[in-house]
């Protein structure tokens, strides 16, 4: 079996690391890795190939920036060419980015079956580009690899044939087990460099367009975090998009003087930061789950989350950034809290399950 895998954004590189490894264990399976280029900097892309021991992509499309339509269109064109050249038996896509949608559309139009990892997630907010990408991808995929029972329920409600839906658990949990543990045995890394003691600081990541492209929400987040910073050190690895937004608003210097800003981190240093944080405030999907994997309370600075089981079990609190006070109160109030003993993301063998299902061939609908 020949599988073309499409990756492009940071979380996809992280998820693909374990599935690629599971594929390499099968001599009857060949993976061709395609990097669209959506994230391209050394610290948003290259570092993950090195740290997570991934083979270099065979095709690098170098497509980044531009509007959603422009980016998706250029990717669609370039991925179609790769599929025509490679003639794969399946195309594998991850998550909900423009790379995911472009890979899916290119494949289905050429009658190549698509496998979607992280199928069935829903925010029910159609203003999010991610929600549009994931709904369209699920609609035309052949294998829908759902991470949670909630995701399976969404697909059922949308009328997806059960034969196409596979509850495999969350590949991010596989990554946390395989590589997260490595981070903790390889020394303190960024914790020593930045002079951070365990349990002493608040870790922040913000990158969703909902927050970065809305000056009022971003100002509320920054002002709320300034209030937090008066009591606890705030450590913030800054996503390139957020850096641009803070700069545009003229508040980057102010944030730099009140908080510890870091460049985007590699996966291993990110895990070190997560495990040592008193609380994590984020709008990232992956980071919400990693907080839970490492037993750290999480505050999600959004109006909704796809990972509702973490809110239900008390590990995560939804705090829409409607005011600075809401942000400060939400973040400080979560310190020292814990959630229930739940196991919603499988057993850490999702990647093997995905590869096994694909090797069984196209499911009969």
Binding site for ligand UDP (CB under 6 A): 10-11, 14, 205, 207, 237, 264-265, 267, 270, 284-287, 290
Nearest approach, Cβ of 154 to ligand UDP (angstroms)? 18
Q: Based on CB atoms, which residue is closest to ligand UDP, 14 or 151? A: 14
239 belongs to the catalytic site:
no
Contact indicator for 223, 324 with CB cutoff of 8 Å: yes
Helix (H, G, I), strand (E, B) or coil at 281: strand
- State both tokens at 288: 């919400």
Closer of 143 and 267 to ligand UDP (Cβ): 267
82 vs 354, which CB is nearer to ligand UDP?
354
Tokens describing residue 175: 């990554």
Residue 87 CB, nearest approach to ligand UDP (Å)? 30
Please say which residue, 265 or 316, places its beta carbon nearer to ligand UDP.
265
DSSP annotation of 192: H
Q: Which is nearer to ligand UDP, 22 or 287 (CB)?
A: 287
Phi and psi at residue 266, in whole multiples of 5°?
-70, 170
CA distance 71 to 98: 7
Q: Are 138 and 130 in contact (CB under 8 A)?
A: no
Catalytic option among 116, 207, 294, 343: 207
Number of H helices and E strands in the chain, helices first, is 18, 13
Nearest-approach distance from CB 137 to ligand UDP, in angstroms = 14
* Alpha carbons 85 and 276: distance in angstroms, whole number: 47
115 close to 94: Cβ distance less than 8 angstroms: no
39 phi and psi angles, rounded to 5 deg: -110, 130
List active site positions.
207
């Amino acid at each position: 079996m020949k599988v073309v895998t499409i990756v492009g954004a940071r979380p996809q590189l992280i998820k693909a690391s374990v599935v690629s490894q599971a594929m390499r264990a099968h001599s009857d399976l060949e993976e061709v890795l395609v990097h669209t280029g959506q994230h391209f900097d050394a610290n948003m892309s290259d570092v993950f190939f090195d740290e997570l021991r991934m083979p270099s992509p065979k095709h690098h499309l170098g497509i980044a920036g531009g509007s959603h339509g422009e980016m998706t269109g250029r990717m669609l064109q370039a991925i179609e060419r790769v599929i025509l050249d490679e003639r794969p038996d399946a195309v594998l896509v991850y998550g909900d980015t423009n790379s995911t949608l472009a890979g899916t559309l290119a494949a289905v139009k050429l009658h190549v079956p698509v496998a979607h990892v992280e199928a069935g997630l829903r925010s029910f907010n159609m203003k999010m580009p991610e929600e549009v990408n994931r709904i369209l991808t699920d609609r035309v995929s052949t294998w829908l690899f759902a991470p949670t029972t909630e995701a399976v329920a969404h697909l059922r409600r949308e009328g997806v044939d059960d034969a196409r839906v596979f509850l495999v658990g969350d590949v991010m949990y596989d990554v946390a087990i395989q590589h997260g543990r490595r981070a903790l045995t390889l020394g303190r890394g960024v914790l020593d460099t930045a002079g951070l003691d365990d349990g002493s600081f608040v870790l922040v990541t913000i990158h969703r367009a909902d927050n970065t492209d809305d000056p009022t929400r971003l100002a509320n987040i920054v002002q709320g975090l300034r209030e937090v910073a008066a009591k606890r050190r705030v450590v913030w690895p800054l996503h390139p998009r957020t850096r641009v937004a803070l700069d545009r608003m003229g508040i980057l210097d102010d944030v730099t003087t009140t908080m510890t800003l870091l460049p985007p981190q590699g996966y291993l240093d990110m895990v070190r930061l997560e495990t040592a944080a008193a609380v994590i405030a984020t709008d990232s999907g992956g980071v919400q789950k990693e907080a839970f994997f490492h037993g750290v309370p999480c505050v999600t600075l959004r109006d909704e989350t796809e990972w509702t089981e973490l809110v239900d079990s008390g590990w995560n609190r939804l705090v829409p950034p409607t005011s600075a006070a809401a942000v400060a109160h939400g973040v400080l109030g979560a310190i020292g809290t814990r959630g229930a003993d739940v196991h919603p993301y499988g057993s850490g063998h999702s990647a093997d399950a995905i590869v096994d299902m694909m090797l069984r061939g196209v499911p009969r609908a």
